[in-house]
Chain A
Amino acid sequence: MSVESLFPRLEPLLPKVQKPIQYVGGELNSTVKDWDEATVRWALMYPDAYEVGLPNQGVQILYEILNELPETLAERTYAVWPDLEALMRSEGVPQFTVDGHRPVRAFDVLGVSFATELGYTNLLTALDLAGIPLEAADRTDEDPIVLAGGHAAFNPEPIADFLDAAVLGDGEQIAIAISEVLREWKAEGSPGGRDELLMRLASTGGVYVPKFYDVEYHPDGRIMRVVPNRDGVPTRVFKHTVMDLDEWPYPKKPLVPLAETVHERFSVEIFRGCTRGCRFCQAGMITRPVRERSITTIGDMVEAGIKESGFSEVGLLSLSSADHSEIADVTRGLADRYEGSQVGLSLPSTRVDAFNIDLANELSRNGRRSGLTFAPEGGSERMRKVINKMVTEEDLIRTVTTAYSNGWRQVKLYFMCGLPTEEDVDVLGIADLAKKVIKAGREATGSRDIRCTVSIGGFVPKPHTPFQWAAQGDHETVDRRLRALRDALRSDKEYGRAIGYRYHDGKPSIVEGLLSRGDRRVGRVIRAVWEDGGRFDGWSEHFSFERWMAAAERALADVPVDVDWYTTRERDEHEVLPWDHLDAGLDREWLWQDWQDAVNNVEVEDCRWTPCYDCGVCPTMGTEIQIGPTGRKLLPLTVI
């Protein structure tokens, strides 16, 4: 049965909404495959506005890989803004894909990539607009399988009731495997309906189906255990790891939007994983081990990507790009290749050392030296030991001095507030640090024309990190410290004017904390917020702390837990955590030991260059660190 395009019904609504171009699709390198020639059909969603969702690497990679499969098609859908949502409701137009403008409910799978928990309410809007029942328990064989991925899926429990399934880790291979299970099941005539399909997926051990697990609670509200409720369902579900990034050089054909988006560049991931061991960093914990893409593949991808897209900026992505074993050759090679052209190169530079400045100098050959960003994260030496961000004050001063002497005018410094064991003095230390930065910069350059910006946000403890047991700082304390820091910076007559200050208040962090470490009971809060009009919670103009707190009070009235219980409460070693049955490969005892080391200011080295510190990932997952050097170099491009 063919599916009609919704575009003729959508089109009359478009002149009435903001930025209509975001809903029409037709991006360069997008694909609309024939509906009837495919057997397995995926709708891929990034649950935020198009301008944020389109550049997302994960969605672009899966979109391309799935569309390369002969019997599979994939289209994309994004959260629609409230102006279009209202019109779609009044005109009866369902959630659509931007490629073929097909109704999302007609697909076999709705795959949703959650980079952040703040997209949960947007999932509910999309399901509701699509005509898909919000709760998985109410869905029929006519509804797609709602499948979550992305970093937030490492604890999908708060949205467990709304999901049919979740996958952890790298999506490339598991997406193809899921497509194959679906193809076989459909070829057999869809035996046993969606229940059997979910059972087939769950029994592989690589797909988490929440409804096949029961959660039992202690009378005081803590979780007693999480157990499979039927035979053939594994007790633990494991993450997926792509081991050879050179075999998966995606995106090959980046999507080039007509609408303006948050990242107007072609991005190449130069490695996955990070073993620096920053204790607050969920990405660094759940993406282990380090797997580098080789210098030659990086060069090929950059060349092809520019040609296919026409982008003038290339970003070299990873969690700590300067750590690539051949980063100097990569940056020099690319800078040589594109010297004199209008192609700009950028490296998210977060490592605080002078080597980073060399790289930045190379990459800025074609352009201007405006600003460099570093992330010391903690304001005091002690704080940085707690979070295992091994940067001394001397390192930082030496690095920024080098930057200023090399012609960089502006340095941005990232910090967090509300870290475990933090005291007022740790946050006020940021002001001293910033003043020393300006002082050193003025001495090194003999100029007063240098600036430094302090950017600070509230810390949120995340699952699968050593801080998963920690008490989150309450928003009153966080806000008080942020104000004190602002006053300390502004009141300084000598340096205050050279220091910019940007901060986010502590309330949104509490909601993020609730969603990050929540369990299945938090699902009712999300639903209550959504029913109360909650949308686009990542956008300050749409976010309402009061709405979340009021909804939580109502939704959690009959259980012995509340928002504080989920956020500002410290957990003990043996408490069952909502995500304990979901395995990122990290050894729980190692995480606990690392948490104890944190409290005792003990640091841990990076296992990329020093011996293994037994986090457990490699033996559990059967993986190993994959780094160069390959010894190869980037050759000049031949002019055609």
Chain B
Amino acid sequence: MQRLRVRYAKRGRLRFTSHRDISRAVERAVRRAGIPVAYSAGFSPHPKISYAGAAPTGVASEAEYLEIGVNRPCDPRQVRDDLDASLPPGLDVLDVVEARDGNLADRLEGSVWELRLPGADPGEAERAVKEFLSADLVEVERLTKKGMRRFDARQAVRSLAVVGEPGITAGQETVQPCVILRMVVRHETPAVRPDDVLMGLRLVAGFAPPSPAAVTRLAQGPLDAMTGEPADPFAFDRAGGDR
């Protein structure tokens, strides 16, 4: 069975889709596009589509990943075009490769997040980032299914900075002056989310932006030991394709 790995974006209004919303939309789009998706055997067959670490509801993303198993070999470029045309605008297919060995989810070691904080004070943001980075441990709390949980939000953060230049604007349609934070966060259990880092900034430096952050995941991939930045998780698959 051929496996196709898909990078897609969740943009604009569609950032309000939940993981379940996306999986329904993808299943329908796959059917409309006529992609020969394989089904699991058994009493109630399911399409073989698996999702790797979806961004939370309300968070935009330029780097979401899924994998589709197909019954007959498909041209990845054709699948990219057909699937993109069948998905609603805002769920946009960016790249499709044929999978080589290995587990895609394992390669997604960390994410780059961009947080836009409308109306926040740049000086306060700089100060809070400095405080956060100089701490060894920043314990935050989050309500999970198992109740309130305390965990460290500091160690997973590989880098965090206030950036001057706006990055890719995947999230907001509303344009207003804002502070932009960029961070690389390693995927851990429990997962440290951008919200947790924001809470950490409030705890260490009392930094409390006046309105909710617009969050976008810019990239995901294996973390480079030298730079600390995520590399392209498809590099391995593509190298196989070129041979």
Are A and B co-members of a single complex? yes
List the interface of chain A (C-beta within 8 A of B): 7-8, 11-12, 14-16, 19-21, 23-28, 256, 258-260, 264, 306-312, 342, 367-368
B88 touches A21 (CB 8 A): no
Q: Does B102 contact A (CB under 8 A)?
A: no
A7 touches B86 (CB 8 A): no
A11 touches B174 (CB 8 A): yes
B39 touches A26 (CB 8 A): no
The complex places the Cα of A8 from the Cα of B172 at a distance, in Å, of 9
Residue of B nearest to A256 (CB): B28
Known contacts: A342-B45, A368-B44. The answer to whether A310 contacts B86 by CB under 8 A is yes
Residue of B nearest to A9 (CB): B174
The complex places the Cα of A309 from the Cα of B29 at a distance, in Å, of 8
The complex places the Cα of A9 from the Cα of B23 at a distance, in Å, of 29
The complex places the Cα of A309 from the Cα of B17 at a distance, in Å, of 18
The complex places the Cα of A19 from the Cα of B31 at a distance, in Å, of 25
B17 touches A8 (CB 8 A): no
The complex places the Cα of A264 from the Cα of B28 at a distance, in Å, of 11
Residue of B nearest to A7 (CB): B173
Interface size class of B (residues with CB under 8 A): 20 to 34
9 contacts between A and B (CB under 8 A): A12-B211, A15-B58, A21-B14, A21-B18, A258-B88, A309-B32, A310-B27, A310-B30, A342-B31
Interface 1/0 per residue, B87-122 and A, CB below 8 Å: 011100000000000000000000000000000000
Q: Does B24 contact A (CB under 8 A)?
A: yes
A8 touches B173 (CB 8 A): yes
The complex places the Cα of A8 from the Cα of B214 at a distance, in Å, of 13
Please name all residues of chain B whose beta carbon is closer than 8 Å to the beta carbon of A28 when the two chains form the complex.
28, 88
Residue of B16, B25, B30 with most chain A CB atoms under a 10 A cut-off: B16
Give 3 nearest A-B pairs by CB, closest first.
Answer: A310-B28, A310-B32, A20-B16
Contact of B24 among A8, A14, A25, A258 (CB under 8 A): A258
The complex places the Cα of A12 from the Cα of B212 at a distance, in Å, of 7
Please name all residues of chain A whose beta carbon is closer than 8 Å to the beta carbon of B20 when the two chains form the complex.
260
Please name all residues of chain B whose beta carbon is closer than 8 Å to the beta carbon of A19 when the two chains form the complex.
18
Known contacts: A7-B173, A26-B89, A342-B39. The answer to whether A14 contacts B44 by CB under 8 A is no
Would you list which residues of chain B between 50 and 94 have a CB under 8 Å from chain A?
57-58, 86, 88-90
Residue of B nearest to A27 (CB): B88
Interface 1/0 per residue, B1-32 and A, CB below 8 Å: 00000000000011011101110110111111
**How many whole Å from A410's CB to the nearest CB in chain B?**
14
Residue of A nearest to B31 (CB): A310
Residue of A nearest to B37 (CB): A342
Please name all residues of chain A whose beta carbon is closer than 8 Å to the beta carbon of B31 when the two chains form the complex.
306, 310, 312, 342
Residue of B nearest to A343 (CB): B31
B24 touches A260 (CB 8 A): yes
The complex places the Cα of A309 from the Cα of B30 at a distance, in Å, of 11
Please name all residues of chain A whose beta carbon is closer than 8 Å to the beta carbon of B24 when the two chains form the complex.
258, 260, 264
B21 touches A259 (CB 8 A): yes
Known contacts: A27-B88, A260-B21. The answer to whether A309 contacts B16 by CB under 8 A is no
A311 touches B14 (CB 8 A): no
Residue of B nearest to A20 (CB): B16
The complex places the Cα of A7 from the Cα of B88 at a distance, in Å, of 18
Please name all residues of chain A whose beta carbon is closer than 8 Å to the beta carbon of B17 when the two chains form the complex.
21, 258
A311 touches B58 (CB 8 A): no
**How many whole Å from B241's CB to the nearest CB in chain A?**
29
**How many whole Å from B151's CB to the nearest CB in chain A?**
22
The complex places the Cα of A16 from the Cα of B13 at a distance, in Å, of 15
Would you list which residues of chain B between 195 and 216 have a CB under 8 Å from chain A?
211-212
A24 touches B16 (CB 8 A): yes
**How many whole Å from B169's CB to the nearest CB in chain A?**
14
The complex places the Cα of A15 from the Cα of B58 at a distance, in Å, of 6
Contact of A258 among B25, B32, B39, B212 (CB under 8 A): B25
B90 touches A14 (CB 8 A): no
Would you list which residues of chain B between 174 and 226 have a CB under 8 Å from chain A?
174, 211-212
Residue of B nearest to A367 (CB): B44
The complex places the Cα of A260 from the Cα of B18 at a distance, in Å, of 10
Known contacts: A12-B212, A260-B20, A311-B28. The answer to whether A20 contacts B89 by CB under 8 A is no
Contact of B212 among A15, A308, A310 (CB under 8 A): A15
Please name all residues of chain B whose beta carbon is closer than 8 Å to the beta carbon of A307 when the two chains form the complex.
32
A14 touches B25 (CB 8 A): no
A21 touches B16 (CB 8 A): yes
Would you list which residues of chain B between 136 and 185 have a CB under 8 Å from chain A?
172-174
**How many whole Å from A589's CB to the nearest CB in chain B?**
52
B28 touches A26 (CB 8 A): no
Known contacts: A7-B173, A8-B173, A311-B28. The answer to whether A21 contacts B212 by CB under 8 A is no
**How many whole Å from B70's CB to the nearest CB in chain A?**
14
The complex places the Cα of A23 from the Cα of B44 at a distance, in Å, of 32
Known contacts: A11-B173, A14-B58, A307-B32. The answer to whether A26 contacts B90 by CB under 8 A is yes
Please name all residues of chain A whose beta carbon is closer than 8 Å to the beta carbon of B27 when the two chains form the complex.
310, 312
Contact of A310 among B29, B44, B58 (CB under 8 A): B29
**How many whole Å from A260's CB to the nearest CB in chain B?**
6
Contact of B21 among A7, A258, A308 (CB under 8 A): A258
The complex places the Cα of A26 from the Cα of B212 at a distance, in Å, of 23
The complex places the Cα of A27 from the Cα of B44 at a distance, in Å, of 27
A24 touches B21 (CB 8 A): no
**How many whole Å from B104's CB to the nearest CB in chain A?**
24
The complex places the Cα of A92 from the Cα of B211 at a distance, in Å, of 17
